[in-house]
Amino acid sequence: MPGGTPPADGTLAPMLRALLLAPPGAGKGTQGEQLAQVYRVPHLATGDLLRQNVAEATPLGQEAKGFMDRGELVPDRLVVDMILHRIAGEEPLAGFVLDGFPRTLTQARQSYDWGKAKGRTFHAVISLRVPEDELVRRLLERGRSSGRSDDNEETIRNRLRVYSEHTEPLLDFYRGRDILVEVDGTGPVPDVTARIVDALLPLAFP
């Protein structure tokens, strides 16, 4: 069955496996939640899972906290274990929207190898395009209202640098696999969601 809008009654809803690949502040979390509702799949946000581990002071959280506060990437092995464990867990997930993973070429290659072996490769990689000054404005505003400790100007600049150095190269990796869709991430939230759903229409996912 081709991809696209699922039937209203939920029968035969396509099991989308997608990831959002975009800089901090582009709306990965917001759009991840919207897409999870549209396609009826879980939304897994690496940042949220990590922050939960930090809040619960798990060994993973204790190791990750310093990297997150500085706006650096948490080491690959920790993140890969956490995500693949979550996807592959007791009931392996057939569909999902990932946000914040993979974020390095190592993570992308490891998840591709894993997906190939398990029949769980990604159908679509959604890139949200937002100009940098708009990203900084959104993140500073979020920092004021949510109090997220990494939403301060210095850490924001570092996260944007880390994104362009380590994560942006993944766009070419997925473009080469013909699963990259690029969407304008500016404007009202429902408009961006509609653009993503439209962009997914031509892609096949069972």
Catalytic residue among 159, 161, 175, 177: 159
Q: Rule CB under 6 A: is residue 183 a binding residue for ligand ADP?
A: no
**Nearer of residues 4 and 112 to ligand ADP, judged by Cβ:** 112
Decide: is 67 part of the binding site for ligand ADP (CB under 6 A).
Answer: yes
- Structure token pair of residue 59: 């060994």
- For residue 97, the Cα-to-chain-centroid distance in whole angstroms is 7
The number of beta carbons lying within 10 Å of the beta carbon of residue 151 is 21
Element (H, E) at 114: helix 105-118
How far is Cα 59 from Cα 66, in angstroms, rounded to an integer?
Answer: 13
From the candidates 70, 86, 138, 148, which is the catalytic residue?
A: 148
32 binds ligand ADP (CB under 6 A): no
Q: 3-class SS at 166? A: helix
The letter for the amino acid at 154 is: E
Using CB under 6 A as the binding rule, whether residue 61 contacts ligand ADP is answered as: no
Site for ligand ADP in 77-106 (CB under 6 A): 79, 100-103
Establish whether 142 is a catalytic residue.
yes
Q: Is residue 68 helix, strand or coil?
A: helix
Distance of closest approach, residue 10 Cβ to ligand ADP, in angstroms: 29
Catalytic residue among 17, 28, 51, 65: 28
Is 28 an active-site residue? yes
Question: Can you read off the two tokens belonging to residue 120?
Answer: 């769980």
Neighbour count for residue 28 (Cβ, 10 Å): 25
Give catalytic residues, as residue numbers: 28, 103, 142, 148, 159
Binding site for ligand ADP (CB under 6 A): 24-25, 28, 46-47, 50, 67-68, 71-74, 79, 100-103, 107, 150, 159
